[in-house]
Amino acid sequence: MAKKFSELEARMAPESRACAETLYQQHLKEMPLNELRQAKALSQATLAETLHVNQAAISKMERRTDMYISTLRNYIRAMGGELEIIATFPDGQVRIENFAN
């Protein structure tokens, strides 16, 4: 019989719960576009309508490993966000403003 996650979690060692929470927080900071869209409770069709493209274009966009920054910016804006490009170096981070249209 299936068990509730809360029951399983209650039986976990504190170290295991802390590790699971760390992984959860990391996954919230790093996710593919399709998961980000789903986390925002948006369908491909809804996003396609906002961007004035068809649903297949959204599907294709979410599978790309390389795209124009303007395309990614429009995708993020359609979800209500803003895209920032940040370069990370050993001595700190720099926000790149060339793409901040």
* Residue 42: partners with Cβ closer than 8 Å, 6 or more residues away: 79
How would residue 101 be classed by pLDDT, with cut points 50, 70 and 90?
low
More confident residue, 24 or 72: 72
The rounded Cα 1 to chain-centroid distance in angstroms is 34
pTM: 0.70
**pLDDT for 10-69, tens place per residue?**
888 889 888 888 887 777 778 899 999 998 999 999 999 999 999 999 999 999 999 999
Q: Which pLDDT value is given to residue 29?
A: 74
- Taking the CB of residue 78, how many other CB atoms lie within 10 A of it? 20
